[in-house]
Structure 1
Amino acid sequence: MVAERAANGWLLRPAFQLRPLDESHADAVLADIAASASERELPRVAALLGRDGDVRRFLAAVFELSPFLRDLARRRPQMLDALFDQTVAERLDFLGSEIECCWTGEGVSESELMKRLRLLKTEAHFLIALADLAGEGDTQATVHRLSRLAENCVHAAIAFLLADLARQGKLNLPHPDDPARDSGLIVLGMGKLGAHELNFSSDIDLILFFDHKAVVGDPMEATDIFSRLARRLVRIMQDRTEHGYVFRTDLRLRPDPGSTPLAIPVVAALTYYEARGQNWERAAMIKARPLAGDIEAGEAFLKELRPYVWRKYMDYAAIADVHSIKRQIHAHKGHGEIAVKGHNVKLGRGGIREIEFFVQTQQLIAGGRFPELRGRETVQMLSQLAGNGWITAEACDALTRQYWFLRRVEHAVQMVADEQTHILPEDDEGLERIAHLLGFADADGFSKAFRESLVDVERHYAALFEAAPELSAGMGNLVFTGDVDDPDTLQTLHNLGFQRPSDICRVIRAWHFGRYRATRSAEARERLTELTPALLEAFGKTRRADEALMRFDEFLSGLPAGVQLFSLLQSNPALLRLVATIMGAAPRLAAVITRRSHVFDGLLDPALLSELPDRAYLEARLSAFLEGDRPYEEVLDRLRIFAAEQKFLIGVRLLAGSIDARKAGRAFSHLADLTISAALDAVTAEFAIRHGRIRGARVALLGMGKLGSQELTAGSDVDLILLYDHDPDADESDGDKALAPAHYYSRLTQRLIAAVSAPTAEGVLYELDLRLRPSGNKGPVATHMDAFRKYQRQDAWVWEQMALTRARPVAGDKELCAEIAGEIAAILIQPREAAKVRREASDMRKLIEEEKPPRDLWDIKLARGGLIDLEFIAQVAVLTGSFTGKPGITATLDVLAGLAPDYADAGMREELVRAYALYAAITQITRLCLTGPFDREDVPPGLSDLLLAVTGMPDFSVLEAELRDTEAGVRRCFDRILRGKAK
């Protein structure tokens, strides 16, 4: 028989003829291979390649068109010689048998196994390609052969690894001669491998599970043992050696691949799929097939998964989620002519993925009720869907025809260089090469057929989802399934404004995997999937979209649940935009909402933007928040929680424009007054438990700086002075640990500082600064009222009395607060030499400029003509009797508005008031949004937009020009008023 076949010649006859790109080059290539055959004493091959005829012309075209196949033939011409004795089918059967048993034999090492697998796989791969190009079998036969080849290789590698572990004493195999049987190790082939649909240069998707009954010496080591086995399997299959590689192997379709071992216990896997599995994972499981290891255990595992994959009833949410998968793989409708060059045959418009998805979505919807729709193979299921009436016979025929055509194109693209690519060449020669490999006369003929195929597929695919909700017009793909980035999705994200689209894909996949408590339930993930396009659009518009989404991700990671939030954001676009603004433009607020997710609850209040956060509003809410008898530490923690939430909500109102900078400053100051007052009460009561009280004692806190002038910002420290008084003859407190008055109030003040400023799990209430007390840091931290009165009237420097113009009692004994306010008013109206006050204020401003020069134009506090200049103008006016308003007014803006005409004329007053309003607007927004200084070169674009909104400027260059002019104008006023300079 062999002799008869040899006499008849080579046993692969091309069904049609291919043409090379260059006839002379093809002849040279064939001559080179013939020479290699002669060197290896293969006369039949040399003669075949030297003899004119259909076979020679076919091989000349193949090897000229495919450098990959040419190099294989040159290195191993014996692969051609084998076809004199066996047909392709017979040879492939023989090679398959050799692969199946190549792990057996005495002393077969891992390296020897790797060599055998690579040599056998290479020959099979080569022959499958030749048979495909010759038309010996159709494309369906090709994908089946490739899949069978991969299955044989995995089966052999798994058998070897199990046997090797048994030799090491790690496993007790029931059947040493058949290691996989009853081993408990399950190897599922996924995707195209599971469906017998591998492409020519395909990687293979595997998932490894193991049964808890697996025969492991120590069950506690099972995960580690099988995970190391999986790692060795990948190395055996895909490491490149001098003999090539077997198959690139991907284990990332396992549950939550970023946080799970390479091999997963069956129980853990079933729990995951039941509790956290997603619809795209259900779709992936349609093609799952046990192909190595314990086949019976694999079948049992898939049987247990049936209720998860094949739901008997599809509720609305599940159908909506199927639609959302489709929305992620966007159906393009009428977006212009499809380009052939550079088109992705798999993922592009009208490509293979659309046909596969067309089938899988119908299977997900109907497979629960119709078992016949649960098959793995795409074309077989197209036929079944048509038979059951789910699609038309015309759709079935068209999609079947185009599926196999596109698969042939895919193979041709990959046969050129054995690259895992699905993209057609961009250049003319490359496209011509593909056309010739497919039997077309030229690229034009191929391009016409290819474009018609894509249009045909696109038409049926788009019609499948006509009733499904669409993404925003022109948004493009949004695919976050699996563990590999979709190229079109990366482009979509880039177009939306994301600079690191791959990182964004990784983050969103983590949401879908249910790694956070907020995304752990199926309902939460379904809501989030529906929300994702709108969410990405909203964050994309922040212009620093990546940072914004990362902050939102950090926020999500701390949420206890997500369904309510996702539903709320989906139904309330304005709230979604506000959240995006916070995350993109306000790192300080984003940090608050991330660390304390409960503050987000305040955003759910429908009256949030309509109710003003005045003193009465805040006082009522604080009272309710502290209601009841609570331990001292709990009171302090609740004050921190309340302050953090209310600072956040005041900031949100400012961002949303429902309050202006002035009202925000007052609200932040009211909040500080109330919470520090409550802290003082708690500290006083707690301190008295051990140290008692002093007879006739009264305590008050004097707010200085921005607290005193009610101009606090979100990031302000608080300047305080603690003042006290008591009966003249009180020598010590009446507690168990009695203290003298000075020592008592010093200790009380230190306790207050710790209560307010010490960091706890709930953060810091306020950073306190007590340096404005008499004698500064050198003096005692608490000041007796008589000492304060005497110091301010006799010893205070001008700058200290300037600071006193902003002083305001904020907490403590009401009578003492009134007394302090009266004393301050009396001190401020004392007669002074106006010229001396102006001179000393001017000298002090000069000293500040020398010691703390401004960073730039945007250092509004220190800038020449900035906030300090305005504050000094106002403070000097109060000290010199040049303020015409009511006594006790501390707000800088109010003082500037009431400057006496002989101190500043009407034009100057208007200029100064306008400047302060501009500075306050900028300062409130920047301190609200940023945790550090304002850097013009690194400002979040969203913050730029907010600054333009609050200042009413059309663009940032105009705002900078206005700021520059304003600072120059304020400095002119400062020089005229305090330095007596002419205009």
Structure 2
Amino acid sequence: MAEDLVAAGSFFAKALKALHPFESEQGHWFDGRHPQAQFLNAVLSLSPFLRDLFLHNPYYLEPLSNMSLNSRLDRLLAEIAAFDTLPEMTETRLMQQLRLLKREAHGLIALGDLSTVFDGKTTTAYLSRLAEARLGSALRFLLRDLDRAGKVTLPYQDEPERGSGLIILAMGKLGANELNYSSDVDLVVFIDEQVLPAEQVADCVDIYSRLIRRLVRIMQERTVDGYVFRMDLRLRPDPASTPLALPVGAALRYYEARGQNWERAALIKARPVAGDIAAGERFLHELVPYIWRKYLDYAAIADIHSIKRQIHTCKGHGAIAVRGHNIKLGRGGIREIEFFVQTQQLIAGGRFAQLRGRNTVEMLAALCETGWIAAPVADSLRQHYVFLRHVEHRIQMVADEQTHILPEDEDGFLRVAYLTGYTAGEAFTRDMLAALHGVEEHYAALFEHERDLASAGGNLVFTGGENDPETLATLSGLGFTRPADICRIIRSWHSGRTRAMRSREARERLTELTPALLQAFGATVRADDAFMRFDTFLQGLPAGIQLFSLLQSNPALLEQLVLIMSAAPRLAEIIMRKPHVFDSMLAPQGAGALPERAALAGRLRDFVAQAADYEEILDRLRIFAAEQRFLIGVRLLGGAIDGVRAGAAFTVLAEVMLDVCLQAVEAEFARQHGRIAGGRVALLGMGKLGSGELTAGSDLDLILLYDHAADVEMSDGRKPLYAAQYYARLAQRLVAALSAPSGEGVLYEVDLRLRPSGNKGPVAVDFAAFGQYQRHEAWTWEHMALTRARAIAGDTGLQAQLMVEIAQIIGSPRDNSKIADDVRAMRAMIAREKPAHSVWDMKTMAGGLIDLDFIAQYAVLTRKSACKAGASAGEILAGMGRSDLLAAWRLYSDVEQIMRLCLMEVFSPDDMPAGLADLLARSAGEPDVARLQGALARTAAEVRAAFAAMIGTTAAEC
């Protein structure tokens, strides 16, 4: 066939020259020895559409003798954009001119694409600009016509679209500047009521809807000159019952109440292309919370996959083939790449603004840069996407038809192969199969964890009122001792009596997930108890579909959930109240190493920057903190980090949260009360916050310190306050921001009692007064507490001064014997008021954490350790060379972190979950919890002996 086509091409080129023998420098287009002539021969032979186009319009080539292809296309675009300004322009003439210039531009774009002068991005950009120019020109003409008829009043006669309130959003490929060679144009039309006079809104719905009908006729009616493009307006909200031009308010109400994930996916690419562009941008901005959820959105995966399954069902696209395969909608086709990208965008775009772009190739790169997909996946999908779009254009260039199907016949198939640059059909077939299979593999990976009921290895039937005997046997085999109770629970799920299972979709997802749930819970030590806790957890959920979709897509998360239900009631309580905390585990960084402080702070700033007001800032802080605390806890449960690293991670998180929260509180407070000239604020972390040993449930011990210019008495706001009053209220506002409950919970509980004079002293402390108090009035226990103090947020200069002041205070000469007496007295008081009941009271028991802390604090105050303020007991003990005490501190830290993470109530060794006992033993490197208890008792005796040797004993202990 190849020889026949080349010969035909040569014939058509000669015929073209004979029919139109014009004289110009472009004669080489018909000189068979010239590469351009050979290229034209091939194009004319392979594409009937282009052959007819250039046979009847050879002058399309003439301008290319003295200007580049880009220049000619830019000139055509400018001519189209100016049609509406021509005084003699009529609707009939406009239709004709749009079609004629469209035909010329399409012919030239095809030459640029086929000759590889244009790459795929340039080709689709020109096609998109061409469609946009035609649409804008026609719309401006129609708006002027309405204005002349007195139907509307245009505020800007020279710019009829501006201020018209008419919004035309391009969706799909036009919205993304990726339009096909022969493509429908997906548009939605809205009316911004805020732009129009109130009395015109109702009339404009009818007027603008009729205008859109005229626009559709101008664009897609076939005349002797062809058509411009087909318009599809069915992506608007509820197209069967809404007008063509829908008021923005009605659209927003629809999206908020009834919008679906497929509509969110479609709106990703939405772009104002005609009409009132500024109003269109405002409308899209209002849609941001609807499109981009602040929680990671894994239910979107299943919804998008459902759409894809419907495409396969309705269109009949079965297994991958080449001939007859739909390279857009078929398996491994362009739509799967687009769905792959859009799914990831919907999931994470609420958190990562860089994932909100419209262009498919650019978003593949962004997904790679943010860690959502691996570089090989991004590169593979990009290459396949470029290749398939390349082929798609050539399929459409053959006859200017909107088709995406590779021809089945030999001649048709080879036409496409040759237009794509291949010299043999076999090579084209090979590369096409590689692309389709490659795309299908990556797309399928999104859904590889879907399961069916057969996967549990036996009967699992939960319908009807009676238990199926084979199902009971299957459950017993899985590890459940009360299979009848398990059947009863699962039947209750299917009944929809629980809120989380009331929707059909939720019940379907949970049905698919049930075998995996039963296998995972059956493998635990007390499978029935753990499964029943999970049922209790489900009963507390307001809705289930998001969680079930999330678990279905992530088996590792299911394993973590089972571990939590079997071992960690405290974490179970957290996820019962806030299922979205799972989001943190599913982000690319979730399973990796703990983030560095700078990276964590950057993520928080990006997340908070999207807040609309102060209250939303606080809610976003609560969401972020809950997710990150949960993430640290899961790493601790899984053994990825030990207790010491967990303490450091909880502390870094608290510091980052405090820094951003303080800034937000100061800014909000200043809106009403202004600022104090020269004023500076710093937060001093005390206790475990200062020493970097926070646990999952720790309060924050804080002192807020301030100073300001000496000659300033009041703030400069519209409601000025005296300086002391200003900072006291600022401190109260900060405490409220941190500890006030909201729908997102509490950020942190705060304790200010370690400030000078405790509860009797001011809540905000003047820096100079703080130094005076600590030097002249503070008790020994306050200096002991000061050894753990560390400036953690606020003005960096004041923080530095504060740490210098604390270092001088701690380093002041002291009577070591008096310090020892005071430490012993304080330890004796704690023993009386908070006696330990067992070795599991690791903090207060004799030889426990308090003893280690006191040893470390005594060493710092008596200069037996050179550690600075803010060091942990472990750092101080290591600096003293006490490896025995350091080992004790590590043991206590590991066990305490897990206990604080898992338990909400007082620990009872006789009633701990089996999973928790295993976790505790593992954390200490012991084979079982009984051996761990013995190790704790031995360690406590060693620590108490070290305390007595260094500091002495009380009379009661002698």
Which position in structure 1 is the counterpart of 2:930?
957
Superposed displacement of residue 955, structure 1: 1.1
Which position in structure 2 is the counterpart of 1:858?
840
TM-score under structure 2 normalisation? Answer: 0.50
2:874 counterpart letter in structure 1: L
| 1:531-568 Cα deviation digits (max 9, x unpaired) | 42331232133334344324433554576876786576
Using a 3 Å threshold, how does the CA distance of structure 1 residues 750 and 544 change in structure 2: closer, same or farther? farther
2:798 counterpart letter in structure 1: L
Using a 3 Å threshold, how does the CA distance of structure 1 residues 628 and 567 change in structure 2: closer, same or farther? closer
One of 892, 897, 905 as aligned partner of 1:932? 905
One of 916, 924, 940 as aligned partner of 2:889? 916
Superposed displacement of residue 526, structure 1: 5.2
| 1:505-544 Cα deviation digits (max 9, x unpaired) | 2321133335567656767655543542331232133334
The reply on whether 1:947 has 2:928 as its aligned counterpart is: no
| 1:913-969 Cα deviation digits (max 9, x unpaired) | 000000000011111111122211111111111112211111111111101100111
Using a 3 Å threshold, how does the CA distance of structure 1 residues 533 and 818 change in structure 2: closer, same or farther? same
In the alignment, the residues of structure 2 paired with residue 848 and residue 966 of structure 1 have an alpha-carbon distance, to the nearest angstrom, of 20
2:879 counterpart letter in structure 1: G
Which position in structure 1 is the counterpart of 2:856?
874
One of 775, 780, 784 as aligned partner of 1:793? 775
The reply on whether 1:625 has 2:598 as its aligned counterpart is: no
Which position in structure 2 is the counterpart of 1:112?
none
Using a 3 Å threshold, how does the CA distance of structure 1 residues 937 and 487 change in structure 2: closer, same or farther? farther
In the alignment, the residues of structure 2 paired with residue 859 and residue 492 of structure 1 have an alpha-carbon distance, to the nearest angstrom, of 42
Which position in structure 1 is the counterpart of 2:21?
none
In the alignment, the residues of structure 1 paired with residue 525 and residue 485 of structure 2 have an alpha-carbon distance, to the nearest angstrom, of 16
The alignment yields a C-alpha RMSD, in angstroms, of 3.1
Which position in structure 1 is the counterpart of 2:807?
825
One of 564, 583, 589 as aligned partner of 2:571? 589
Which position in structure 2 is the counterpart of 1:677?
659
In the alignment, the residues of structure 1 paired with residue 886 and residue 802 of structure 2 have an alpha-carbon distance, to the nearest angstrom, of 29
In the alignment, the residues of structure 2 paired with residue 972 and residue 716 of structure 1 have an alpha-carbon distance, to the nearest angstrom, of 29
TM-score under structure 1 normalisation? Answer: 0.49
Which position in structure 1 is the counterpart of 2:701?
719
| 1:583-614 Cα deviation digits (max 9, x unpaired) | 22111211222211112122223442223233
Q: What does residue range 666-815 of structure 1 map to in structure 2 within 5 Å?
A: 666-815=648-797
Which position in structure 2 is the counterpart of 1:891?
872
User: Does the aligned pair in 1 maintain the 2:706–2:764 contact within 8 Å?
Assistant: yes
Using a 3 Å threshold, how does the CA distance of structure 1 residues 312 and 712 change in structure 2: closer, same or farther? closer
Which position in structure 2 is the counterpart of 1:436?
none
| 1:80-134 Cα deviation digits (max 9, x unpaired) | xxxxxxxxxxxxxxxxxxxxxxxxxxxxxxxxxxxxxxxxxxxxxxxxxxxxxxx
Superposed displacement of residue 696, structure 1: 1.4
2:950 counterpart letter in structure 1: I
In the alignment, the residues of structure 1 paired with residue 623 and residue 913 of structure 2 have an alpha-carbon distance, to the nearest angstrom, of 28
Which position in structure 1 is the counterpart of 2:641?
659
Equivalent pairs counted in the alignment come to: 511
Using a 3 Å threshold, how does the CA distance of structure 1 residues 487 and 839 change in structure 2: closer, same or farther? farther
2:887 counterpart letter in structure 1: R
Using a 3 Å threshold, how does the CA distance of structure 1 residues 569 and 737 change in structure 2: closer, same or farther? closer
2:876 counterpart letter in structure 1: V
The reply on whether 1:816 has 2:789 as its aligned counterpart is: no
1:919 counterpart letter in structure 2: Y
The reply on whether 1:966 has 2:939 as its aligned counterpart is: yes
Superposed displacement of residue 485, structure 1: 3.9
Q: What does residue range 238-257 of structure 1 map to in structure 2 within 5 Å?
A: none
One of 463, 484, 491 as aligned partner of 1:481? 463
Q: What does residue range 188-199 of structure 1 map to in structure 2 within 5 Å?
A: none
Q: What does residue range 362-761 of structure 1 map to in structure 2 within 5 Å?
A: 478-486=460-468, 489=471, 493=475, 496=478, 498=480, 501-514=483-496, 525=507, 528-556=510-538, 569=551, 573-628=555-610, 630-761=612-743
1:787 counterpart letter in structure 2: A
Which position in structure 1 is the counterpart of 2:279?
none
In the alignment, the residues of structure 2 paired with residue 943 and residue 640 of structure 1 have an alpha-carbon distance, to the nearest angstrom, of 27
User: Does the aligned pair in 1 maintain the 2:583–2:627 contact within 8 Å?
Assistant: no
Largest Rg, 1 or 2: 1
User: Does the aligned pair in 1 maintain the 2:790–2:870 contact within 8 Å?
Assistant: no
In the alignment, the residues of structure 1 paired with residue 562 and residue 606 of structure 2 have an alpha-carbon distance, to the nearest angstrom, of 31
User: Does the aligned pair in 1 maintain the 2:786–2:869 contact within 8 Å?
Assistant: no
Superposed displacement of residue 782, structure 1: 1.0
In the alignment, the residues of structure 1 paired with residue 832 and residue 731 of structure 2 have an alpha-carbon distance, to the nearest angstrom, of 34
Which position in structure 2 is the counterpart of 1:396?
none
Identical-residue share of aligned pairs (%): 58
Give the secondary-structure state (helix, strand or coil) at the position aligned to 2:609. Answer: coil
In the alignment, the residues of structure 2 paired with residue 568 and residue 688 of structure 1 have an alpha-carbon distance, to the nearest angstrom, of 42
| 1:117-173 Cα deviation digits (max 9, x unpaired) | xxxxxxxxxxxxxxxxxxxxxxxxxxxxxxxxxxxxxxxxxxxxxxxxxxxxxxxxx
1:975 counterpart letter in structure 2: A
In the alignment, the residues of structure 2 paired with residue 507 and residue 313 of structure 1 have an alpha-carbon distance, to the nearest angstrom, of 40
User: Does the aligned pair in 1 maintain the 2:852–2:885 contact within 8 Å?
Assistant: yes
In the alignment, the residues of structure 2 paired with residue 677 and residue 947 of structure 1 have an alpha-carbon distance, to the nearest angstrom, of 34
In the alignment, the residues of structure 2 paired with residue 790 and residue 972 of structure 1 have an alpha-carbon distance, to the nearest angstrom, of 37
Which position in structure 2 is the counterpart of 1:86?
none
In the alignment, the residues of structure 1 paired with residue 910 and residue 563 of structure 2 have an alpha-carbon distance, to the nearest angstrom, of 20
Give the secondary-structure state (helix, strand or coil) at the position aligned to 1:626. Answer: helix
In the alignment, the residues of structure 2 paired with residue 725 and residue 891 of structure 1 have an alpha-carbon distance, to the nearest angstrom, of 28
Gaps of 5+ in 1: 1-310, 317-467, 900-905
User: Does the aligned pair in 1 maintain the 2:547–2:579 contact within 8 Å?
Assistant: no
In the alignment, the residues of structure 1 paired with residue 584 and residue 524 of structure 2 have an alpha-carbon distance, to the nearest angstrom, of 23
In the alignment, the residues of structure 2 paired with residue 814 and residue 934 of structure 1 have an alpha-carbon distance, to the nearest angstrom, of 41
Q: What does residue range 242-321 of structure 1 map to in structure 2 within 5 Å?
A: none
Using a 3 Å threshold, how does the CA distance of structure 1 residues 485 and 809 change in structure 2: closer, same or farther? same
User: Does the aligned pair in 2 maintain the 1:539–1:548 contact within 8 Å?
Assistant: yes
Using a 3 Å threshold, how does the CA distance of structure 1 residues 481 and 974 change in structure 2: closer, same or farther? same
2:786 counterpart letter in structure 1: L
In the alignment, the residues of structure 2 paired with residue 736 and residue 681 of structure 1 have an alpha-carbon distance, to the nearest angstrom, of 20
1:786 counterpart letter in structure 2: A
In the alignment, the residues of structure 2 paired with residue 863 and residue 916 of structure 1 have an alpha-carbon distance, to the nearest angstrom, of 14
Superposed displacement of residue 793, structure 1: 0.6
1:611 counterpart letter in structure 2: A
User: Does the aligned pair in 2 maintain the 1:589–1:928 contact within 8 Å?
Assistant: yes
1:732 counterpart letter in structure 2: M
In the alignment, the residues of structure 1 paired with residue 893 and residue 733 of structure 2 have an alpha-carbon distance, to the nearest angstrom, of 33
In the alignment, the residues of structure 2 paired with residue 744 and residue 494 of structure 1 have an alpha-carbon distance, to the nearest angstrom, of 67
Using a 3 Å threshold, how does the CA distance of structure 1 residues 775 and 563 change in structure 2: closer, same or farther? closer
User: Does the aligned pair in 2 maintain the 1:542–1:585 contact within 8 Å?
Assistant: no
Give the secondary-structure state (helix, strand or coil) at the position aligned to 1:699. Answer: strand
Give the secondary-structure state (helix, strand or coil) at the position aligned to 1:702. Answer: strand
Give the secondary-structure state (helix, strand or coil) at the position aligned to 1:918. Answer: helix
In the alignment, the residues of structure 2 paired with residue 524 and residue 732 of structure 1 have an alpha-carbon distance, to the nearest angstrom, of 58
Using a 3 Å threshold, how does the CA distance of structure 1 residues 758 and 541 change in structure 2: closer, same or farther? same
User: Does the aligned pair in 2 maintain the 1:610–1:658 contact within 8 Å?
Assistant: no
In the alignment, the residues of structure 1 paired with residue 314 and residue 919 of structure 2 have an alpha-carbon distance, to the nearest angstrom, of 52
Using a 3 Å threshold, how does the CA distance of structure 1 residues 567 and 796 change in structure 2: closer, same or farther? closer
2:665 counterpart letter in structure 1: V
| 1:374-410 Cα deviation digits (max 9, x unpaired) | xxxxxxxxxxxxxxxxxxxxxxxxxxxxxxxxxxxxx
